[in-house]
Structure 1
Amino acid sequence: MSPILLGFLGSLAAGSMTAAGALPVLFGRQPGRAFRDLSLGFAAGVMLAASFFSLILPALDAAGEDFAGAIPPAIVCTAILLGMGAVHLMNEALPHEHFRSGREGPEAAALRRIWLFVIAIAIHNFPEGLAVGVGFGAEGFEGGLPLAIGIGLQNAPEGLAVAVALLGEGYSRLRAFAWAGATGMVEPLGGLLGAGVVWVSEPLLPWGLAFAAGAMLYVISHEIIPETHRAGHQKLATTGLAVGLVVMLFLDVWLGA
């Protein structure tokens, strides 16, 4: 199986975990905000570990094979900043605040915040898919599998958070589940792009790895951590982050060995 197809299928499987995480809303089980913040903290930890151990360190190794001295870290640092900048531009450029029209007032403002969160999840799923695709494109099944599993694990609490947020705004259980699942379907597009780019052009490998890492780091800082701290559950969220980080580290070493 070609690395490009592997990247697409791996990111599709990881993105599908968003829908799997939203399944409880179909059966009337809605976890409390504390549990959701704990779960999102876990997601942040997984992404943080994946950024460094599965993307940045391999990017440094790949750049070091062609260059010496200060050039490899300079390439990686530049690509990280480019990845962070790209997600920032997506966040700023996409007209996502007014998803549907509504009357002015607290209700309308709340709805805009909900949909800002929903579409923010969809936006940051793209670099997650990109990371999985780059992993498969760079090192085949062995390199992409830990990323696909890790990203899939952290997609589940994100899907649940989106579905519960929509339920709170009066959406039916089926529609909330469907929209939550739809946010994960952005990932196969990123996976296809990432796998294709690094597979076709080997010199772009360190750039692709570090770019994907930077994109995920931006999402962690700009979206996930602030969301987990809004309701005063910082300790739970930090605990989740710690667990997610060590789980992803273990998976990366164990499955990549």
Structure 2
Amino acid sequence: MFEDAALRALILSFFAGMSTLLGALTIFFANKKSEKLVTVSLGFAGGVMLSVSFTDLLPNATQLLSEYYNEKLGIVLSVVFLLIGVLFAAMLDRFVPHEPEPDGDGKKHENLFRVGFVSTLAIGLHNFPEGIATFMAGYEDLTLGVSIALAITMHNIPEGISVAMPIYFATGSKLKAFKYTFLSGIAEPIGALLAFLVLKPFINSLTLGMIFGIISGIMLYIAIEELLPSSKQYGYSKEALMAIFSGIILMPLTHII
């Protein structure tokens, strides 16, 4: 059933997706009682999502849609699909209701679990089309597939941190932190498997551009609505700001590979 080229591409996407678990290893060095570390983790996660949206997903969406249509229409459509993603995330937000404004540590941590949950959803959605892209590249050209898988691996490590840390601080459970990080990462090989079994005839610049544009909007919404406000609720505003900028700066540097 699986020819050699397809099997190699699936293996590449699996290891790229599971690299999110490397980010989750940071929980072993974390003190779950440290509110300053919670602040830094949430700010960093917000910065990562902002950066991924503006330096990765949206430019890719614009490029792919421009290839399918033309440059001007590609730019307009990428913004349209970004807005669709924002609206979609806002609708989802209604089904995962906000906790009341926190009065004590318990409420803060309940809200943190929610933040971790929506981060898992956002990064899983992000990883799904990445899995498709990794599979298609690895299937056509093994060298190109390895290069893309390495770049995605570097991306996925900080994304794993952004999922694992809120879950760990909310629950105190390393197992749950790893479980949610695994769920966000496994979306990548699932995307690759679906690309092989079902989606190959339908994958083109238009469909991938639409997906990347929508997911960029979802990530922007989660960063601005969830992660950035949550990073400031513990009172360490300067630390939160520094962490946000760190996340923004780090993600473009991962493209060096």
TM-score exceeds 0.5: yes
- Cross-structure match for 1:52: 54
The letter of the residue matching 2:58 is I
Amino acid at match of 1:182: K
Structure 2 vs 1, CA of residues 180 and 52 (structure 1 numbering), >3 Å: closer, same or farther?
same
Q: Which residue of 2 aligns with 1:185?
A: 182
What amino acid is aligned across from residue 254 of structure 2 in structure 1? L
Residue 209 of structure 2 aligns with which residue?
206
Residue 230 of structure 1: how far off its partner (Å): 0.9
Q: Which runs of 5+ in 2 are unaligned?
A: 138-144
Partners of 2:213 and 2:40 lie apart in 1 by 27
| CA shift in 2, pair 1:120/1:62, >3 Å | closer
Three-state SS of the structure 2 residue aligned to 1:212 is helix
Given residue 136 of structure 1, which amino acid in structure 2 is its aligned partner?
T
Q: For residue 72 of structure 1, report the CA deviation from its aligned partner.
A: 0.5
Change over 3 Å in CA distance of 1:54–1:117 after alignment to 2: closer
Q: Secondary structure at the match of 1:231?
A: coil
Residues 145 and 218 from structure 1, CA distance in 2 versus in 1: closer, same or farther, beyond 3 angstroms? farther
Distance 1:134 1:90, change over 3 A: farther
Is contact 1:163-1:179 (8 Å) kept?
yes
**CA distances 1:125-150 after superposition (whole Å, capped 9, x unpaired):** 32242364255256544345333322
1:129 maps to amino acid: N
Partner in structure 1 of residue 15 of structure 2: 9
Deviations 1:136-181 (A, max 9, x none): 25654434533332232242254133222223xxxxxxxx111111
**Residue segments in structure 1 that go unaligned for 5+ positions in a row:** 98-105, 168-175
What is residue 172 of structure 1 aligned with on the other side? none
Q: Secondary structure at the match of 1:232?
A: coil
Residue 77 of structure 1: aligned partner: 79
Aligned match of 1:100: none
Check 1:52–1:85 CA distance in 2 against 1; reply closer, same or farther (3 A cut).
same
In structure 1, the residue matched to 2:246 is: 243
Q: Which residue of 1 aligns with 2:235?
A: 232
Deviation at 1:58? 2.0
Structure 1: how far apart are the matches of 2:90 and 2:43?
Answer: 21
Q: Percent identity?
A: 18
Which one is further off, 227-236 or 108-117? 108-117
The verdict on how the C-alpha distance between 1:49 and 1:72 changes in structure 2, with shifts beyond 3 A counting, is same
Aligned-pair distance for 1:123? 2.6
Shift in Å at residue 45 of structure 1? 1.9
After superposition, residues 14-163 of structure 1 pair within 5 angstroms as 14=20, 16-17=21-22, 19-24=24-29, 29-30=31-32, 32-93=34-95, 113=111, 115-130=113-128, 132-133=130-131, 135-137=133-135, 139=137, 140-163=145-168
Q: SS of the residue aligned with 1:221?
A: helix
SS in 2 for 1:70: helix
Q: Is the 8 A contact 1:55 1:212 kept in 2?
A: yes
TM-score normalised to the size of structure 2? 0.75
With over 3 angstroms needed to count, the CA separation of the structure-2 counterparts of 1:138 and 1:204, relative to structure 1, is farther
Tell me the amino acid that sits aligned with residue 186 of structure 1. Answer: L
Q: Deviations over 1:186-227 (max 9, x none)?
A: 224432454445755113121122222222212211221111
What is the one-letter code of the residue matched to 2:230? E
After superposition, the Cα gap between the structure-2 partners of 1:130 and 1:220, relative to the gap in structure 1 and judged at 3 Å, is farther
CA RMSD of aligned residues (A): 3.2
* Segment of structure 1 superposing worse, 135-144 or 149-158: 135-144
Q: Distance in 1 between matches of 2:14 and 2:85?
A: 20
